[in-house]
Structure 1
Amino acid sequence: MLSMASGTSRSWFIVVPDQELPPGLLTRLRPRVGRVVRHPSGRPWLLGDWAPERMVVASAGGRLLAVVGTSSATTTDLQARLKGVSTVADVEGALRGVHGSFHVLASLKGSGYVRGSASGACRVHRAVVDGVTVCADRARTLAWLTDAGPDPAQLAARLASPLPHPLAGAAMWSGVETVPPGHALHLEPGGNCRTVAWWQAPEAGLPLAEAALALRKALCDAVTLRVRPGQVLGADLSGGMDSTSLCFLAAEAGASLVTATLHWEALGNEDQHYARYAADHLPDVESLVFPSAALPPCFAGSERRRDPQEEPSPALRDREIQQHITRALRARGAALRLTGHGGDHAVVPPASYIHALLRRDPALALRHTAGFRAQRRWPLGATARVLLRGGSYPHWLNTARGRLREAAVPLPACETWGPRPTLPQWASTRAVDQFAALLRSAAEQTVPLATDFSRHAWIHQMREAGRIAGLINDDTAADGLPADSPFCDDTVLDACLSVRSHEAGHPWSYKPLLAAAMAGLVPEHLLLRTTKDHCDIEWYRGIREHRRQLAVWAGTSHLVAAGVAEEDGLRRALLSPGLQTGGGAELENALGVEAWLRDVAVHPVPGYLRTPRHPYQEPLIDSAAH
């Protein structure tokens, strides 16, 4: 069984094929590598630096199978499973029943197999290095190996909001490709490779009660996997249903909990009430409450440069806040922090499920539509037009491509393939052209994640949650406390996708699937909550307090230098965010990309590559093995 271990922030690996490798590749890697696993041939297979408990490896008869990350696999279990693996086509069947969030790697008599998670929390990237296809868990490792810089087209894309499939999560570096979640790389003898789907969404036919049982088991398994006897477990307790459910599951699994609750200032904020109620009903818990006035302001510390992440992070605004909480949890002995991130994305389908429901059961669909209109104030005419829309996904992408400068008009949330992406008015003409080219290419090559509008949008939002979870959890680990997001485990997503959408997303209760799954474990008062709080007051205060820094950034912008932003327009956006059409989302994107570019400029070599924890003492190539 694996867990997020201390030092996870320095964890990395690459996968190389079973063939002669360019000497320059191994020479460059040699001082950076802390651990090596070899192919049965004796050549290097996995190179990197990781805590031993993060990887389980089984070997037999010239075959190797490895699971890397948080998983239920043990060495004995994996060894037994390997008996059923002869070719790469056997790998997934042999791993059926293993749960968690992890990478899967195999070396099978010259053939290779590499994949991440379906949720996108664990990702795989590839690049050609000196003529050889190299795979890695971090795109930045491959960028360093190939001396690649940030891709201007991807910088332009990250200014858009929101990013559609498949552009979301693409590698930020020229020449580095991200393998789509749910797909694996087959590395063939001789160096060729191909991408093959290994995951399919389950059928969406279970009634709510049955799907709730499946979700409860998946969440219970996910949380129990992360609980260690005698170990203090940190956990977010926002007062919302997602983090609260995880806390009760952790307590039932025997965790000694230290919970963290943020108390925002907005009048009528109910988070603290629900969090306090939850803490009062949790056994063996130490509850920490952080009033926003006692925390660093939003965007604090953004002027300090740090080792950049894989891509621009949405966590820039509360990085110092989370560091403050991390220190408090560590001081109380926490070895891991559970977060409820991904719950919103996993347990509630987009309202676009009404499209398919309208064609199966018009009366029920109209009843759901009326409920949403009353709840969310959807205009009648706009709602009717949206529900009657059709069209293919490529057509939708091409339509969006031609309207990038148009401000997004608020529409009912039952929009077909998802909300239309737009670029801010201060994006340069070059940025518009580059992003339009990406959309055109996607329209020519991409199929939707599902034929049904809502299923496509639901899977996409789940993968976006996984992508962000990977960034947030990696950021938290870099501060000394590994974090984990059980809602982004593949088995949890499968359980959610198995439900009838109209029973999990209807307008008459809040998160009905999760509420049904947690019934009898979480107090009913918490499951009946229908509100969700925000931190708008703190956000705007943080912007005001950092106006001087934002003015400096506007005058020395790396976005402008990269050619994707117009200086005057960017300055107006940074200094007067309340006057911008796109509001906070556009500003968050801009600040995230700007900070990331500044970090990359100061830290060209990834921090995790500088010094391995335990430098590898043997030669990477053992001539006696050949």
Structure 2
Amino acid sequence: MVLPDCEAASAVFAKVRDRACQVLAHASGRPWLAGCWQKEEAHLAVVGEVRLAMLGTCGLDRDALLRRARAVGSLSEVEEVGRGVAGSFHLLASVSGQVYARGTAVGDRRLHHTRVGGVTVLADRARTLAWLIQARVDMAQAAVRMSSLGSPPHPFDQASMFLGVHVLAPGRALELGRNGYAGERRWWRAPTAELPPAEGASGLRTALREAVRARVRPGQVWAADLSGGMDSTSLCFLASEAGAELVALTLDWGNPEGEDPAYARKAVADLPSGTVHLLFPSARLPPYLTGLGDGGEPDDEPSLKQRDLAQQEHLSHTHRSRGARRRLCGHGGDHVVLPPTSHLHDLVRHQPRLASRYLAGYAAKYRWPRARTLRVLADRRPYGTWLAAQAETLLGGTGTAPSAPPAWDPPVGMPFWATARAREMYANLLREAAHTLPLAATRGRHGWIHQARQAGRVALIYDQYGMGLEMPFCDDAVLHACLRVRAHEAATPWTYKPLLAAAMRGIVPAPLLNRTTKGDATREWHTGLKVQQRCLAAWLEDSRLVAAGLAEPRALRHAWLSPATLRAADGPAVEFTLAVESWLRGIERHPVPAHLREHPREPSSAR
């Protein structure tokens, strides 16, 4: 928790004093920062009345942080401390009692805020603040997540699940004054897309290299996912370059057409001879959705974590037994390196002849219907108007299938088991959001930033669960490097991840950069649902979503117990709805978050 420098905040702190391992003070002696963190995650400095904390992965050493702290004379200068620093961290400061706090632009480090006892306080977990003010769940947000948990449109992807608790949007900071003032400030802006591909690739190579070196030290044992795909393979070679002793982990989905094991073996053959390679056949791992009914600790919002949580725990146990405390993961590569096809909307207006070639290529690749594609590309509605129009589409049916490049974000829809009440709740939110500004002026840039933030949401959940996963593709510097390249040069219908391939040329062997396929776990997903039939049948008897009027019981029964009979387009919503139901049950069972258990405080100092 982050607290302002005033007596009212001291009263709030009294409620959490016995639940924090470490406490740092303002220059006044009042509590400023309270919580529990690993010593290696805390980068702290005190210079006069300036207190700085960079919590997370940080490429700045102690002496460099002290030098930057000495240059801070006001809140407006705090952001310079984090400028150009590799890694992923919260940046927190107390300057003469004035507070500055922010997470990351990608959103893998998040902050929430609420008013309590007459003051604004912040926390990295929404459930901390929800417990503090005894907040109720916002069921309208549950309806949103039931529809589009994987990627709700902006701004709903950054909305809190608790009434009275607010998410500090990625890219924004919150300032707290001693007089109770609280104001937001934008600290991050997307860079201009101006670099030619070669220069952009060089920048991405530098950003990824520094992201890995901010984590890896020579001689350390590190685990690393190795699917054989471009993202995880790149991280393995960069970690090896940084001097890590690698334990590479590969999942074999058992698909006869799957190429993951073969490409992973090719990569290992080119990595240092001491690299340990462990292959895990999916049939020998816990099935998808294992532990669904065990009532585990819920996150700040519903997530798809339960899908492979047992598998991830098995992998974590294995790599720790091999001496690796943490593990590199390629998650985020698809989101950050590859812009969405909505950039075609921009390309049509600036380079129509080139856009025509791209459009033909993508239409053939994804089988886009010509008429619908042309309608999307001709659409000039501003973002807020588009959101409001989605409300009417939502009330009129199940929404529009994403069979063309997205207009702004993917089209909004509801599964057939959603009730009229659920549709109306979501539609009302869409109408209220009609004033919302997009994340960038153009559709392609907006979509690129939006999908990067979805990667950040996933990285955040696994980090808070303590899986020991490190996801360098989710670092702000990596996103910044990608956004400096024009979207149509970062992705084409004829090549796969050309920007990353160019960045890794000379580091990753060329044959490994030519792969264009991805592994598929569809069969494991269906198997997991089948294994959980008894649990799902029991949940249907007292479904929280049905009780809230958000799901129609007979239709929900059909979706959960007969998923093989559904359209492929309904598959994701089955899992989204299941995640929301599980989360609601978890919140009931765990009104006090596990991270707020009482425990002795450890001495902590920023000196």
What range is the shorter-chain TM-score in? over 0.9
Deviation at 1:251, TM superposition (A): 0.7
- For 2:362, the equivalent position in structure 1 comes to 372
Alignment of 1:379-418 (within 5 A): 379-405=369-395, 406-418=397-409
Q: Distance in 2 between matches of 1:348 and 1:327?
A: 32
Asked if 1:192 is matched to 2:181, the reply is yes
Q: Distance in 2 between matches of 1:597 and 1:16?
A: 29
Alignment of 1:309-388 (within 5 A): 309-388=299-378
For the 8 Å contact 2:49–2:96, the answer to whether it is kept is: yes
Asked if 1:61 is matched to 2:48, the reply is yes
- For 2:194, the equivalent position in structure 1 comes to 205
SS at match of 1:15: coil
The TM-score, its normalising length taken from structure 2, stands at 0.96
- For 2:32, the equivalent position in structure 1 comes to 45
Q: Distance in 2 between matches of 1:158 and 1:113?
A: 31
Deviation at 1:328, TM superposition (A): 1.2
Distance verdict in 2 for CA 1:508–1:411, change over 3 Å = same
- Which residue identity lines up with residue 174 of structure 2 in the other structure? L
Once the two structures are superposed, residues 39-63 of structure 1 have per-residue CA deviations (whole angstroms, 9 ceiling, x without a partner) of 0011110011212221122222312
Q: Distance in 1 between matches of 2:203 and 2:83?
A: 16
Asked if 1:149 is matched to 2:136, the reply is yes
Q: Distance in 1 between matches of 2:79 and 2:603?
A: 34
Q: Distance in 1 between matches of 2:295 and 2:214?
A: 35
Deviation at 1:228, TM superposition (A): 2.5
SS at match of 2:72: coil
Deviation at 1:341, TM superposition (A): 0.5
Deviation at 1:291, TM superposition (A): 0.7
Q: Distance in 2 between matches of 1:532 and 1:408?
A: 28
Asked if 1:459 is matched to 2:449, the reply is yes
Once the two structures are superposed, residues 409-435 of structure 1 have per-residue CA deviations (whole angstroms, 9 ceiling, x without a partner) of 434442220211212222233322222
Distance verdict in 2 for CA 1:411–1:559, change over 3 Å = closer
For the 8 Å contact 1:474–1:483, the answer to whether it is kept is: no
| Higher mean C-alpha displacement, 115-124 vs 63-72 | 63-72
Q: Distance in 2 between matches of 1:173 and 1:120?
A: 18
Q: Distance in 2 between matches of 1:486 and 1:74?
A: 19
Distance verdict in 2 for CA 1:413–1:522, change over 3 Å = farther
- For 1:104, the equivalent position in structure 2 comes to 91
For the 8 Å contact 1:474–1:482, the answer to whether it is kept is: no
For the 8 Å contact 2:72–2:78, the answer to whether it is kept is: yes
For the 8 Å contact 1:231–1:335, the answer to whether it is kept is: no
For the 8 Å contact 1:257–1:286, the answer to whether it is kept is: yes
2:572 to 563, 585, 602: 585
Asked if 1:233 is matched to 2:219, the reply is no
Deviation at 1:534, TM superposition (A): 0.8
Q: Distance in 2 between matches of 1:339 and 1:22?
A: 39
Q: Distance in 2 between matches of 1:244 and 1:23?
A: 49
- For 1:603, the equivalent position in structure 2 comes to 590
For the 8 Å contact 1:558–1:597, the answer to whether it is kept is: yes
Once the two structures are superposed, residues 165-211 of structure 1 have per-residue CA deviations (whole angstroms, 9 ceiling, x without a partner) of 11003221111000110000011231111111100000001111100
Once the two structures are superposed, residues 193-243 of structure 1 have per-residue CA deviations (whole angstroms, 9 ceiling, x without a partner) of 111110000000111110000000000000111112332101111111111
- For 1:114, the equivalent position in structure 2 comes to 101
Q: Distance in 2 between matches of 1:23 and 1:87?
A: 23
- Which residue identity lines up with residue 294 of structure 1 in the other structure? R
SS at match of 2:8: coil
Once the two structures are superposed, residues 443-473 of structure 1 have per-residue CA deviations (whole angstroms, 9 ceiling, x without a partner) of 22x2100111010000000011111111123
- For 1:560, the equivalent position in structure 2 comes to 546
- For 2:3, the equivalent position in structure 1 comes to 16
Identity of aligned residues (%): 48
Deviation at 1:73, TM superposition (A): 2.1
Alignment of 1:146-545 (within 5 A): 146-161=133-148, 162-283=151-272, 284-405=274-395, 406-444=397-435, 446-475=436-465, 477=466, 481-545=467-531
Q: Distance in 1 between matches of 2:336 and 2:422?
A: 32
Distance verdict in 2 for CA 1:592–1:411, change over 3 Å = closer
- Which residue identity lines up with residue 455 of structure 1 in the other structure? R
Q: Distance in 1 between matches of 2:261 and 2:357?
A: 35
SS at match of 2:188: coil
Deviation at 1:515, TM superposition (A): 0.3
- Which residue identity lines up with residue 304 of structure 1 in the other structure? D
- Which residue identity lines up with residue 451 of structure 2 in the other structure? Q
Q: Distance in 1 between matches of 2:429 and 2:10?
A: 35
Q: Distance in 1 between matches of 2:534 and 2:231?
A: 37
| Higher mean C-alpha displacement, 245-254 vs 22-31 | 22-31
| Higher mean C-alpha displacement, 506-515 vs 257-266 | 257-266
Q: Distance in 2 between matches of 1:338 and 1:379?
A: 40
Q: Distance in 1 between matches of 2:338 and 2:193?
A: 13
Q: Distance in 2 between matches of 1:424 and 1:62?
A: 55
Once the two structures are superposed, residues 379-412 of structure 1 have per-residue CA deviations (whole angstroms, 9 ceiling, x without a partner) of 2222222221211001110011112252344344
Q: Distance in 2 between matches of 1:590 and 1:195?
A: 34
For the 8 Å contact 2:22–2:603, the answer to whether it is kept is: no
SS at match of 2:184: strand
Q: Distance in 1 between matches of 2:447 and 2:142?
A: 23
Structure 2: 5+ residue stretches without partners: none
Q: Distance in 2 between matches of 1:236 and 1:206?
A: 31
For the 8 Å contact 1:212–1:514, the answer to whether it is kept is: yes
What is the RMSD computed on CA atoms of the aligned residues?
1.6
For the 8 Å contact 1:390–1:416, the answer to whether it is kept is: no
SS at match of 2:198: helix
Deviation at 1:136, TM superposition (A): 0.6
- For 2:110, the equivalent position in structure 1 comes to 123
Deviation at 1:352, TM superposition (A): 1.6
Deviation at 1:22, TM superposition (A): 5.7
- For 1:4, the equivalent position in structure 2 comes to none
For the 8 Å contact 1:416–1:454, the answer to whether it is kept is: no
Q: Distance in 2 between matches of 1:316 and 1:520?
A: 38
Distance verdict in 2 for CA 1:276–1:381, change over 3 Å = same
Q: Distance in 1 between matches of 2:58 and 2:254?
A: 39
Deviation at 1:609, TM superposition (A): 1.3
Deviation at 1:617, TM superposition (A): 7.1
For the 8 Å contact 2:316–2:468, the answer to whether it is kept is: no
For the 8 Å contact 1:17–1:45, the answer to whether it is kept is: yes
The number of residue pairs the alignment matches comes to 599
SS at match of 2:7: coil
Q: Distance in 2 between matches of 1:410 and 1:561?
A: 29
- For 1:82, the equivalent position in structure 2 comes to 69
- For 1:11, the equivalent position in structure 2 comes to none
